Amino acid sequence: IINGQVVTIEQYPYLVAVQIWGSFQCGGSIISRRVVLTAAHCLEREKQPRKYSIIYGETDIQGATSNVIQVESFKMHPDYSNINMDYDVGLLFLVESIPFSKSAQCIKLAVNRPWLGSRASMVGWGETQASDRGRLHAVYVYTIMQLRCWLLYKNKWRITPRMLCAGVPQGGKDACQGDSGGPLVVGDEQVGICSNGFGCGLRKYPGVYSNVAVLRDWIQSHVNTSCSDTK
Ligand code: 4AZ
């Protein structure tokens, strides 16, 4: 997270860390007691599900040994493309349930694409501008019109309807490497999954997120109870 603030997990209790072989890989979000939502590109390095684990309810994930749950199986969207990052969504099915608490909660998935210019929070353990690396940061960004984002990225890559862009007009506030898979949230709903972007915090290249509203049917088809039921 570039130019955000240091925060605690109690402020973003739906956030988890996704690990491979016990080392931090990506962010993710709790969408039910047994299911974590993340980006498909976070699941490309390792095909054995048992090598994955998640850490929930921890602000400081360095050397966390409690609040760790192994992954039983995972799914990437069948149409995911690592060439253009279309359909960048994946699910982790856990071996046991997450005990919900003040610091571990599920997040509702947005049904509709957010209004243009909605204020959205992005949170993660990814790269930061300054010296407080490795600590949990959050930043507010604003959703951008699809056509505008398509134009901004025209010479780089293609922005599809499965994507959603968010940034600030002057640049400087953004997600960055390591924030991938983490949730972009408007109000009490997840609208995006951190996917990619050209650089971090560049004025002409906003952050690119998977568009949850469009991918919601696929996500829900693999989840028994959604957060709106259990909350
Ligand atoms: C990455 O490499 C990445 N500025 C994530 C987010 C952004 C750029 C790169 C957005 O995981």
230 pLDDT above the threshold of 60: no
Ligand 1 center to 115 CA (angstroms) = 23
Query: Is the Cβ–Cβ distance between 26 and 182 less than 8 Å?
Result: yes
Measured from the Cα of 205, ligand 1's closest atom is 4
What is the chain's mean pLDDT, rounded? 96
Region 155-163: mean pLDDT is: 97
Ligand 1 pocket mutation, candidates 149, 179, 198, 209, criterion most atoms within 8 A of CB: 179
pLDDT-derived band at 229 (thresholds 50, 70, 90) equals: confident
Measured from the Cα of 198, ligand 1's closest atom is 8
Ligand 1 center to 224 CA (angstroms) = 31
ipTM of the complex: 0.93
Q: Kindly report, residue by residue over 89-121, the tens digit of the pLDDT.
A: 999 999 999 999 999 999 999 999 999 999 999
Which protein residues are within 6 Å of ligand 1, measured from CB?
174-177, 179-180, 194, 196-197, 200, 207
Cite the active site residues: 41, 88, 180
pLDDT-derived band at 130 (thresholds 50, 70, 90) equals: confident
- Cα(33)–Cα(106) distance, rounded to whole angstroms? 7
Ligand 1 pocket mutation, candidates 177, 202, 203, 208, criterion most atoms within 8 A of CB: 177
2 pLDDT above the threshold of 80: yes
Output the residue whose Cα is nearest ligand 1's atom 3. 177
Q: Kindly report, residue by residue over 44-95, the tens digit of the pLDDT.
A: 999 999 999 999 999 999 988 999 999 999 999 999 999 999 999 999 999 9
Output the residue whose Cα is nearest ligand 1's atom 1. 177
Ligand 1 center to 225 CA (angstroms) = 30
